[in-house]
Each structure stands twice: as structure tokens, then as C-alpha cells.
Amino acid sequence: MSNAHVGSRIVGWGSNLPEKVLTNNDLADGGLDTSDEWIYERTGIRQRHVGGSTGEMSIHAGQQALDVAGVTGADIDLVIVATSTPDQLMPGTSATVHAELGIGGGACDMQAVCSGFSYALVAANGLIATGLERVLVIGADSLSPYVDWDDRSSAILFGDGAGAAVLERHTERTLLSFDLGADGTSRHIGYTDHDGKITMDGKEVFRTAVRAVTKSAQNAIDSAGLTIDDIDWFVPHQANVRIIEAIAQRIGLPMEKAIVTIQNTANNSAATIPIALDTAVRDARVQRGDTLLLGGFGFGMTWASAVMKWDPRD
């Protein structure tokens, strides 16, 4: 394969949220010792969608992305489902998606918790450089079954959802740079055991996330040979709007350039970045030629940043 084909670009996008909505008031009315004011002020969240299975949501988001790309499942060489909440321990949820969308090529899951979509996007770009034509990348999580709904320090934060992107071989690179990292020694600050609930040290996750994403985003911008002024849109993981604000402030990015969807979705882990991207493309904030900074973190702790040119097909 010649070097003329080493690049890739996103040609399809989509997202899916379960119909059932739980507002902050629903949580307070249901007996949780909290309030809409506290949650909104401390997190930016107003509501979360709950009740979808990872497979179902992935299929809907994936189908939308295929439709936008104008391709069918048969045209896809690989589907990667980034998730930490697969429908079964085995097989991967990608097997369900493979069957339901009629994927022509392979299927695998990827587990990097909330950083999963960005890790998968970078991996897909690399696989395209080594010969694949088209990869469907899905970030999907159904966190609601793992939420301790009596624990006000975590119950308010999470929801369910899926987002997807079709990455296709292109003559130019649109993934200009990336920075993937992890600190496994911090894996105790957020985890879920088999048959357990989400357990975390919220303050420590907050501090670690701000530190890690700030450094990672800066690394990605530097290795793209750009400065913060070249970034048109920051598409961050949606865990807490205060985390997004703290990162934006540290990297010198005005908050008007951050895509914030957390008010509607809360944190649905690997789904937040592709949902934010899908939202901002559909409402026409993101335009052809824009430079995007994707950035997020997850339990592990993992983190991932990527700088991309937005260059879909005509």
C-alpha cells in the first residue's frame, strides 16, 4: 500500500440515548438526600437517560453512523465497541452489533473505561494505515445497573448511552496527533467489582483527571505542531462540567469552544465523546476544516487526547 493511503477520516456519525429520563428532581423526589441545585452547581448535570442495553444502543448509534456514511454493515472491515459494561461477560457486545448490523469484517470490544472511544479511534486509524478500508467505532455504556442509587456521591453522575463513528481510509491524515496514557497504580480510585456497584473517590478522580487531561491535551496539541489558538472545538469527556472548565482554563481555551452535553446525558462513559461530537456536528457548530481536540479520562486511570481535522466527505 502506498503512503498516499495512510490517512483516515470520519465519514459517518451517530448517537443513541434510552428514552427513559431521570431528572435531578426525580432522584431527590425518590428519596436521595440531594437537590437539583446542588447537582447542577457541582456537576452541570440536569438529567440522565437510563434503561438501554449496551448492545441495543450500540446498534442504533452504529446504524445512524452507517447511514450518514452511506455504507452498509457489509462495507465495514471491523467493528470496535468500546465499553466497560458489555451485555455479557462473553462474547463481546461487538458480536451482537456484528450480527444485527451485518458487519462484513471482524468484531472486538475494547475496555479503557471512559477513555475507550478515543483509544478505539486511534487504534482504528492505525489499522486503516495497515490495510483496512473502513472501521465502525462505537463508544457505549449502560452504567445504570451498576449505580448504587442510594449513594448520593455517585448516583447523580451516571447514565446510559452510545455514540458511533465510521472511520474510512483517506488520502490525507485527519488524525493529526494523539496522546494515550494510563497510570495503573491509580486503579483503586474508581472501580466496579463483578456483581458490584460503581465505587470511587470522587475528589481524587477529579484531581487526577484535571492533571492528566491537561498534560495529555497539551502533548497532543504540541505534537500536532499547533497551539491552543488553532483549536476550534474541544470535545471533552463529560464527567463533570467543573472538570471541563478546569482543564479549559489550564490549557488556555475559552469555554465557548468546549462542547458540553453533560446537562442532558450525565456521564455515560465511553459514549460521552462520540455523543458530544455527533451533537455538535448535527447542530452545525463543527464545520468542515475545523480542528478538534478530543480529550478524556477514565477509571484505570486512563486518558486519551487526539487532535483531528474535521473533513467528512462532500
What residue ranges bind ligand UT7 (CB under 6 A)? 34, 38-39, 42-43, 114, 152-153, 156-157, 190, 200, 202-203, 205-206, 239-240, 267, 298
Active-site choice (16, 237, 240, 264): 237
Which CB sits closer to ligand UT7, 157 or 180? 157
Report the residue closest to ligand UT7, judged by CB: 202
Instruction: Indicate the SS3 state at residue 22.
Output: strand
- For residue 85, give the C-alpha cell: 459494561
Instruction: Indicate the SS3 state at residue 142.
Output: strand
16 in active site: no
Chain center to CA of 55: 16
114 in active site: yes
194-202 long-range contacts (CB < 8 A, ≥24 apart) are 196/146, 197/146, 197/147, 197/148, 197/151, 198/143, 198/146, 198/147, 198/148, 198/154, 198/158, 199/154, 200/154, 200/299, 202/153, 202/154
Q: In the chain, which ranges are continuous DSSP H helix?
A: 24-29, 36-43, 54-69, 93-101, 116-129, 152-155, 202-223, 241-251, 262-265, 272-282
108 in active site: no
Which CB sits closer to ligand UT7, 13 or 299? 299
Instruction: Indicate the SS3 state at residue 257.
Output: helix
Which CB sits closer to ligand UT7, 28 or 292? 28
Least Cβ distance, residue 202 to ligand UT7 (angstroms): 3
Least Cβ distance, residue 153 to ligand UT7 (angstroms): 4
Burial status of residue 145 (CB atoms within 10 A of its CB: 0-12, 13-18, 19 or more): exposed
Least Cβ distance, residue 232 to ligand UT7 (angstroms): 25
Which CB sits closer to ligand UT7, 43 or 47? 43
* Cβ count within 10 A of residue 7: 19
Active-site choice (60, 114, 170, 240): 114
Longest dimension (CA), the chain: 62
Which CB sits closer to ligand UT7, 97 or 200? 200
Distance CA 161, CA 61 (A): 9
Active site residues: 114, 237, 267
